[in-house]
Amino acid sequence: MSAAAEAPGTGQAIDTGRVIVVGAGIAGLYAALHLVPQPVLVISPEPLGEGASSAWAQGGIAAAMGPGDSPADHAADTVRAGAGTVVEAVAASVTAEARDHILDLTGRGAPFDRDAQGGYVLSREAAHSRPRVVRVKGDQAGREIMATLVAEVRRTPSIQVLEGVAATGLAVEAGRVIGVTVTAADGHSGPVTLRGTAVLLAGGGAAGLYAQTTNPARVRGQALGMAARAGAVVADAEFVQFHPTAIATGEDPAPLATEALRGEGAALIDRDGRRFMVALHPDAELAPRDVVARAVFAAERAGLRPALDTRACLGAAIDAHFPEVASACRRAGIDPVTGPIPVTAAAHYHMGGVEVTGPGRSSLPGLWVVGEASATGLHGANRLASNGLLEALVYARRAAADIAGGLGAVRKVAPVALTLPPGGRPVDPAAVAALRRLMSDHVGVLRSAEGLTTALRAIAALEQAHPTPAFLNMTAAATLIAAAALLRRDSRGGHFREDFPDPGAATRSRLTLAEALALRDSL
């Protein structure tokens, strides 16, 4: 079937002749641009620039750009924050490339904050030994970088974007990934298989599986689940990072009070005005995220109403320096100039994902995975702040080069004309809500064998009652996280077991979905 052919019925397939990129966040778009002039098809459930976690990233990109800093120091901070399970060679190579990606994005038009001398304005965030987070308009890095990449993708003839379309599965032949199955993003269509010259999965993380999350509603572990259901090996699934300063306004997802606020001197206080982090860690508010998240969670559980106080360090300047945070506060009737900002610990980033080696290659031939859906070994058990976007950029470019190197001469292909057939069954919102409550209640900041067992059994019941492909991707990701957490009988970084509070061996976990399901079925 030609690249321009339509797929009129269920079960039809289109040979696109293109590299298929699933996901349109920073990782997906950056990879697509680095694949030029190879023909690329980007699959995006939302209009470009919307619905991606990347666009919500407030802090920025960590890079050794300042005087006295170095990639080696950045790597050392990454290893230290990662609680013993960072792959040091990965940390060294990623931090060594960081500066080049800042310059690349600058050349593409990303409006990074600059000082009067033209240098990059740098913020300090938790567990960094010095300021090294390159930012845009204070707290709008993700949005502005995305806007830059979207504009470039829109004007690149070799990149075609299919918007309003969601991937629900990987097509595998003879053990090799040869394409993806797609439906309408709202679930109201039958499936069509798109065959490609390679598949790059950049569909985001799994923190949206939790009831309290900072992630967009569209991102609920589907990319991880899709790859796992096809047989990919998953690493570090138990390590979920909870951001300690999501703004507690009741919004879903929760708006974020960027860590850069604490870098500016904002203090975490309880209802009595006491700075509770001072007694818990030498770095107080700038302790590693897992430490701060557990402290905020404990204060909230004790009824102490944790809050972030920016009055002394920023005052009225918060509106100009951190407009996204100020806007979220005022939307909820909170004035950060005159009062503290109520905060809660919310699921923010998944350190685990599809295990990849080298330039983003998964265990399945034909499948590359980049961004939060992957597990490169950079983050260990606790991601260093603002290393997420950096990892996405580094591996997107590496994967693009690796894919292009195996494609040979550039072929001219026609645009894909996709007609989705009628049919389909959308995911039941009540089932998704039940799954998210399970994850927050039993696989959250604090875990135990009893809670994890309860979660796995309940996930199995939800899965049986709602066997749509999109929901099965979510339950696969949830099962992997809970099963890996049950198997790790110790506490490390973002994984804390109340029944095993001490750290054990500093090892990474590896798990297939088949192994996780076997464990679940044995309970």
Sheet with 159-163, edge to edge strand ranges: 159-163, 40-44, 19-22, 198-201, 367-369
Whether residues 267 and 123 share a domain: the answer is no
- The model carries a pTM of 0.94
What pLDDT is recorded for position 126?
Answer: 82
The domain total for the chain is 2
Q: Would 177 be classed as within a structural domain?
A: yes
- Do 58 and 129 share a structural domain? yes
| Predicted confidence band of residue 385 (pLDDT cuts 50, 70, 90) | confident
The pLDDT of residue 260 is above 90: no
CA angle 59, 117, 98 (to 5 degrees): 40
Query: 289-316 pLDDT, tens per residue?
Result: 899 999 999 999 999 999 999 999 999 9
Q: Establish whether 289 is a catalytic residue.
A: yes
Domain-embedded: residue 392: yes
Mean pLDDT along residues 194-207? 96
Same domain for 122 and 251, yes or no, is no
**Confidence check: pLDDT of 120 > 50:** yes
The answer to whether residues 124 and 92 touch, using CB atoms and an 8 Å cutoff, is no
In a domain, 249, yes or no: yes
Task: Choose, from 220, 289, 361, 436, the residue flagged as catalytic.
Answer: 289
Same domain for 370 and 324:
no
**Is residue 288, in this structure, part of any structural domain at all?**
yes
Confidence of residue 373 (pLDDT cuts 50, 70, 90): very high
Boundary residue ending a domain (388, 405, 422): 405
Is the same domain home to 364 and 338? no
Q: Is 29 inside a domain boundary?
A: yes
> Of 316, 346, 376, which closes a domain?
346
Instruction: Return the higher-pLDDT residue of 397 and 286.
Output: 397
The enclosing domain of 261 has a CATH number of: 3.90.700.10
DSSP 276-330: TTTTT-TTGGGS-HHHHHHHHHHHHHTT---EEE-TTTTGGGHHHH-HHHHHHHH
Name the pLDDT band for 11 (thresholds 50, 70, 90): low
Domain presence at residue 87: yes
Do both 181 and 287 map to the same domain?
no
pLDDT at 16 over 50: yes
- The percent of residues above 70 in pLDDT, for the chain, comes to 96
Sign of dihedral through CA atoms 8, 154, 221, 332?
A: negative
Residues 6+ apart with CB under 8 A from 5: 14, 417
Answer whether residue 56 shows pLDDT above 70: no
Q: Is residue 300 located within the same domain as residue 369?
A: no
Query: What confidence tens digit (pLDDT) does each residue in 474-505 have?
Result: 999 999 999 999 999 999 999 999 999 999 88
Per-residue confidence (pLDDT) for residue 316, from 0 to 100: 94
What is the domain extent for residue 299? 242-346
Indicate if 370 and 324 belong to the same structural domain: no
Domain boundary among 346, 364, 395: 346
Q: Over range 186-207, report the average pLDDT.
A: 95
Asked if 30 and 168 sit in the same domain, the reply is: yes
Q: How many CA atoms lie within 13 A of 479 on its CB side?
A: 30
In this prediction, residues 323-349 reach a mean pLDDT of: 94
Least confident of 41-55, 236-250, 279-293, 312-326: 41-55
Contact 64, 78 (CB under 8 A): no
Q: Looking at the structure, tell me whether residues 255 and 377 fall in a common domain.
A: no
Can you give the pLDDT at residue 142? 73
The more confidently predicted of residues 7 and 255 is 255
Q: For residue 133, is it within any domain?
A: yes
Q: Looking at the domain assignment, is residue 501 inside a domain? A: no
pLDDT, mean over the chain: 93
Same domain, 187 and 265: no
Residue 69 sits in a domain whose CATH number is: 3.50.50.60
Say if residue 313 is in the same domain as residue 177: no
CB atoms near residue 324 (< 10 Å): 20
